[in-house]
A and B are shown apart, each in its own frame.
Chain A
Amino acid sequence: AQSVTQLDSHVSVSEGTPVLLRCNYSSSYSPSLFWYVQHPNKGLQLLLKYTSAATLVKGINGFEAEFKKSETSFHLTKPSAHMSDAAEYFCVVASGGSYIPTFGRGTSLIVHP
Chain B
Amino acid sequence: DVKVTQSSRYLVKRTGEKVFLECVQDMDHENMFWYRQDPGLGLRLIYFSYDVKMKEKGDIPEGYSVSREKKERFSLILESASTNQTSMYLCASSFRRANTGELFFGEGSRLTVL
Contacts and interface: CB of A to CB of B under 8 A. Distances in A.
Contacts, number: 66
A44 B50 contact: no
Given A43-B90, A43-B105, A44-B105, A99 B100 contact: yes
Interface residues of A, number: 28
B107 interface: yes
Given A33-B101, A51-B99, A98-B99, A103 B43 contact: yes
A100 B102 CA distance: 10
B34 interface: no
Interface of B: 4, 31, 33, 40-43, 45, 48, 50, 58, 90, 92, 94, 96-103, 105-108, 110
Question: Top 8 A-B pairs ranked by shortest CB distance?
Answer: A43-B105, A94-B101, A101-B101, A105-B42, A97-B98, A34-B101, A44-B105, A103-B43
